[in-house]
């Protein structure tokens, strides 16, 4: 039986050729010529004053909060229904994540919930483009501007998506991207920080490399330059191997996104009459990157049973994403009922650019059978 994986990276000969060039160059480490070229291309693509290539999106979130001056005891409002990297980053700097509930139709952070949570210790908001769908940035910007708060866009899942004609990653003064293996553009692991503030980018770049200027730059100076450690930093550099892969992937975003959109359209057509699931909702003012395709199961469906049947037939699936306030690590004393409900009812089915029309049909046929087998009358 052929497996239909939940995720699959679209990497091929072009990426291999780019890696071979790095091997020949003699500089596979981070912040070398490929990394510099990638940062230039990212800044141009997103209209950013500065772009910093990093080891992952979690590192980008951490450095963003450091550069924005978040202090221990500060409160940062974060989207609840998401992988918990934003809340983790808030904890990294000793601040307090305050979880905002989400819209029932999109799963993105609810601006009304954000407005209700602003308090005397609030310093900013991290919005998330949930599984590839941009949040309501116009409304969020009104709130943060009114209260003098920063706004960070976690666009980890949304490379290629748009909101009111602007690309995800360019929807807030600071944005963070992910190039993890399941994203629309990938190097296996990787991330980037994008910002309208060149000084913030420079600070993040310094802190991404132990607090010293890039070693590659130092190596170009005649003589014996000795780097000076000006502050405590981290090892968040992206290797030039990964940067070279990403330069190829950035050029393929349109192609790969078109394939994902075709898969999403086929799912929507084949499942349009299925009463036991609710399909993803995409508001007319934005487009989806389709990192993940999640269906919401009817309350009478046993999700675990459906998932077991799909996996028994070689079809990958998952729970979707997390209601962060329910995770034991946070011990949150908050309620986010919409997020909690979505966490219990969503099911992620295979979504990637390598899926064939025949595989999508097989997923849908197997899902329908499983839904009937595991639904209460």
What are the residue numbers of the active site?
A: 183
Which residue's entry shows tokens 């295979």? 350
Query: Is residue 368 a contact partner of residue 274, using CB atoms and an 8 Å limit?
Result: yes
| 179 exposure class (CB count in 10 Å sphere: 0-12, 13-18, 19+) | buried
């Amino acid at each position: 039986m052929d497996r239909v994986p939940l995720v699959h990276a679209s990497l091929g000969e072009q990426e291999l050729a780019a890696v071979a060039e790095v091997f020949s160059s003699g500089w596979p480490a981070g912040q070398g010529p490929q990394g510099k070229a990638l940062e230039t291309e990212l800044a141009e693509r997103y209209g950013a004053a500065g772009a910093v290539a990093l080891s992952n999106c979690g590192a980008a979130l951490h450095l963003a909060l450091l550069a924005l001056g978040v202090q221990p005891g500060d409160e940062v409002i974060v989207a609840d229904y998401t992988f918990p990297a934003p809340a983790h980053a808030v904890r990294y700097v000793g601040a307090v994540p305050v979880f905002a509930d989400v819209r029932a139709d999109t799963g993105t952070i609810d601006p009304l919930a954000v407005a209700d949570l602003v308090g005397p210790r609030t310093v900013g908001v991290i919005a998330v483009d949930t599984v590839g769908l941009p949040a309501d940035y116009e409304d969020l910007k009104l709130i943060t501007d009114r209260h003098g708060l920063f706004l960070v866009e976690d666009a980890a899942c949304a490379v290629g998506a748009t909101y009111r004609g602007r690309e995800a990653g360019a929807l807030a003064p600071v944005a963070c991207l992910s190039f993890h293996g399941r994203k629309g553009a990938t190097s296996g692991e990787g991330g980037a920080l994008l910002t309208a503030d060149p000084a913030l980018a420079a600070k993040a770049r310094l802190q991404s490399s132990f607090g010293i200027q890039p070693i590659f730059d130092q190596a170009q100076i005649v003589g014996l330059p000795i780097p000076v450690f000006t502050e405590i930093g981290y090892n968040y550099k992206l290797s030039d191997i990964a940067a070279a892969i990403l330069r190829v992937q950035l050029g393929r975003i349109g192609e790969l996104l078109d394939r994902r959109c075709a898969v999403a359209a086929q799912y929507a057509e084949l499942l349009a009459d299925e009463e036991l699931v609710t399909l993803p909702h995409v508001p007319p003012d934005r487009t989806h990157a389709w990192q993940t395709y999640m269906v919401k199961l009817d309350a009478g469906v046993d999700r675990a049973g459906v998932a077991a049947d799909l996996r028994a037939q070689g079809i990958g699936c998952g729970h979707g994403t997390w209601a962060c306030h329910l995770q034991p690590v946070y011990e949150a004393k908050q309620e986010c009922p919409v997020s909690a409900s979505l966490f219990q009812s969503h099911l992620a089915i295979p979504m990637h650019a390598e899926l064939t029309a025949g595989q999508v049909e097989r997923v849908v046929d197997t899902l329908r059978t499983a839904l009937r087998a595991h639904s209460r009358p």
